[in-house]
Structure 1
Amino acid sequence: MGPLSISVLLFTALVLSGGFAAPRAQEQREKSVIIEGYMENTSATQGCPSGWQKFNSRCFHYISQKTSWVHAQIHCIRFSASLASIHSLQEYRFVQNVTRRLGNNFPLAWIGGTDAPQEGKWIWVDGTPFDFTKWTPGEPNNRGGENCLEMNFGDQKLWNDISCKKYNPSVCARQAS
């Protein structure tokens, strides 16, 4: 079973658990905004769709629409992507710059880390190894069931574990073609 299959199975389990359920009206608003904002970005440049930025063999895209972690992942899947995994300091700095390019000052954003299946065991939803971390000192602390990973947290703009129901912008990643 490949990383994509593992990712889909994990994600399905998280969704079916009901822990990430959003109110129906909010879910419908999210779907309409997300679909409107992305259907026109389909042309490829440097192996990445228009509006995506390339780092090594992957393409990254910042989505400013605030959604829950699970809805951010659903959005990424629609574009053959996943919430971003980060594997080095250089890649983290690059992804931070992707979030900043739209005029934001390093906004909080979802990336694809979660410990929902097993508390304290962090995994990337795309199935790649969790081989790099950039936690804010004292994190992850799991205060009140915090199972999802946001970036650009605090003064140092590092990682934080937070409730998956919080609404944040997000960063998707996919393989370059």
Structure 2
Amino acid sequence: MIDFIIIPSAYQKKEEEETNLLTFGTNQPDISLFLFSVKVTSLTVLHLSRTGSHLVKRDVSCSGHWTVYGSRCLLFVPRAMTWAKAEKNCLALGGNLASVHNWKEYQDIQSLIISQTQRPQKAWIGGSDAQQENIWLWSDGSQFLYTNWCRGEPNNRGVQNCLQINHTAMKCWDNLQCRYHLPSVCAKPR
């Protein structure tokens, strides 16, 4: 027997409200007869597993080791690699190196890294000015409007075309030569 809660987004309850747990047998529920009249635009499926006397709730809208933050799934990749290899790795996992569009998204990335490493770890995200100097682009194609550069950055000292985060105690951004090996943060839509 597997326990699931299926919640269409339009009907999601507030965290403190009671949600009914539905218990289904194998290959159940069978709703194939009703699919012709259902249009699902967004769905959250929560997988519940019993560990001792505790009930563990896990959001499975981001698969594997990805973690839900807002409308995105984020993944911290601790294996150090070049910026290009990190982007290729994220693409193979269905995402891109993370883009950052506001302070909240940057805080989400910080929270993810700290949850994995217990400290602010330098890491690649998806910013690069390799195509044209001083024109920063996100590898996912989104607009590069929000920045958190360290003082005096980007400085392009020694052809630095890739964006690393957590450069100083200020946890700000630095441009760095893309050939350096760093951990990375991938992102994909939920």
Give yes or no for TM over 0.5: yes
Distance 1:149 1:103 in 2: 20
Distance 1:127 1:56 in 2: 19
Bigger relative CO (Cα 8 Å, ≥ 6 apart): 1
Aligned residue number for residue 164 of structure 2: 150
**Equivalent residue letter for 1:54:** V
Aligned residue number for residue 51 of structure 1: 65
Aligned residue number for residue 11 of structure 1: none
Distance 2:180 2:59 in 1: 33
What is the correspondence of 1:28-39 to structure 2 with a 5 Å cutoff? Answer: none
**Which structure 2 segments of 5+ residues have no match?**
1-46, 48-57
Aligned residue number for residue 77 of structure 1: 91
Tell me whether 71-80 or 47-56 shows the greater mean CA deviation. Answer: 47-56
1:53-104 C-alpha deviation (Å, 9 max, x unpaired) = 2122110000000000000001001111000000110110110111111133
1:112-161 C-alpha deviation (Å, 9 max, x unpaired) = 00000000000001000001000001000000100000001112011000
Aligned residue number for residue 135 of structure 1: 149
Runs of 4+ in 1 over 3 A off after TM superposition: 43-46
What is the correspondence of 1:59-138 to structure 2 with a 5 Å cutoff? Answer: 59-138=73-152
Matched residues, percent identical? 37
Larger radius of gyration: 2
What is the correspondence of 1:156-167 to structure 2 with a 5 Å cutoff? Answer: 156-167=170-181
**Secondary structure of 1:87's match?**
coil
Distance 1:68 1:164 in 2: 6
**Equivalent residue letter for 1:83:** L
Please identify which structure carries the higher strand content. 2
Distance 2:106 2:69 in 1: 10
**Secondary structure of 1:158's match?**
coil
**Secondary structure of 1:95's match?**
helix
**Equivalent residue letter for 2:137:** I
Distance 1:45 1:164 in 2: 34
Q: State the aligned residue count.
A: 134
